[in-house]
Amino acid sequence: MSAMALLKKVGLFLFTIYALITFVIAMLLVFPFAMLAISAGKVKGGNLVYRCCRIWAQLWYYSIGVSHKEIYEHPHDTKKQYIFVANHISYMDIPPIVLAIHQPIRALGKYEMVKVPVFGWIYRAAVILVNRKDAETRAKSVRALKAAIKNHISIIIFPEGTFNETRQPLKSFFDGAFRIAIETQTPIKPLLLVDTLKRMHYRSLFELNPGENRVVYLKEVPVEGLTMKDLPILKNTVYQMMEEGLKRYISYPTP
């Protein structure tokens, strides 16, 4: 390894340590307000927790030199209710989602994340937890997502389920988001996270870089009148929209 490469690696490591420290500091600053918000009840309290999370994300981005940008390829109505779906490729997917969605929202989140100190406490209050290995908790999470929709709260799901570690735009989608959309007759709004892999690669937490972090809003996909027999077509339609969208912003190797 050359001296320049070694220096760059050490600098990246030190920056990541700094970023992790500021992550915790920003979280600690909003933690008392988030805990106070929880006392306001499941619906109102949850909405307030998300506002606290937005403040946390803004503070952290500012401290580590990451800039948030939203690109609207089509108009977006924040007064409407949606099932948001987004690609999933990095631990840095969470902050841009928190910053980009300007309406009451609940996310489907991995249960493992509650183990992270401080962050895990707020995470538990802000998301609908799911353990994909347990059928009972999967069913419970689906009921909770539907309950959020009944309370006029949008939801967001990563339809790939886990990180996309392929060299292609997307992995295959699970049915969950599209099944809920049809059952509740809630339109789908696809989002693209086009810079999160550059900000932090999934292979290591110690590869965090400053820079731009863009979120792209695609066209709404209506589901009015659709039934379960239309689920494969709906899922494929959204998949193709997101795949084509990602290719407009990111260069991928030829298969």
pLDDT digits (tens, 9 = 90+) for 148-198: 888 888 999 999 988 998 889 999 999 989 999 999 999 999 999 999 999
- Could you tell me what percent of the chain has a pLDDT over 70? 90
Q: Kindly indicate the confidence band of residue 12, based on its pLDDT and cuts at 50, 70 and 90.
A: confident
The predicted pLDDT at position 221 comes to: 97
pLDDT at 135 over 80: no
How far is it, in rounded angstroms, from Cα 39 to Cα 24?
23
Q: In what order do the strands lie in the sheet with 188-193?
A: 66-72, 211-217, 188-193, 83-86, 154-157, 105-110, 127-130
What the block records as the tokens of 167 is 């060299």
Q: How many separate helices (H) and strands (E) can be counted in the chain? A: 8, 7
Rounded Cα distance between 223 and 188, Å, is 8
Residue 116, Cβ density class (10 Å: 0-12 exposed, 13-18 middle, ≥19 buried): middle
Among the listed residues 92, 83, 79, 242, the one whose alpha carbon sits nearest the alpha carbon of residue 170: 242
Name residue, tokens 């997502």.
145
Q: Which of 13-17, 28-32, 34-38, 114-118 bottoms out in mean pLDDT, i.e. has the lowest?
A: 114-118
